Amino acid sequence: MKLQWSSKLAVLAILGLMAWPVLAQEAKPMTQQERMTYCNQQAGDKKGDERKEFMRQCLSTKTAAAQKPTNQREKMKYCNQQAGDKKGDERREYMRECLKA
């Protein structure tokens, strides 16, 4: 069965509308708990006043630092960078937790 141009366009439009909820879901803002988890990961080994200041700025909704990666590719890139020199089971566990957050 050969589809005409208008039929092909209609099928593509329907498929696009079906994908819209998935795309819209990724753009949702982070909850406070998600921001706290993300900022704690970013803070790393900071201590004392340096950590307090970093967390204050990170948790502020005005900063780009509080925006965690939204798609799987960005999350994977971010988590790989954060994992650093971890190896084996330690790295696997870290990546699992990081990608879940």
pLDDT computed for residue 48 by the predictor? 93
> Alpha carbon of 22 to those of 10, 17, 46, 66: distances in Å?
20, 10, 37, 22
User: What are the tokens at 36?
Assistant: 């706290």
75-92 residue pLDDT tens: 888 888 888 888 999 999
Q: Kindly report the pTM of this predicted structure.
A: 0.38
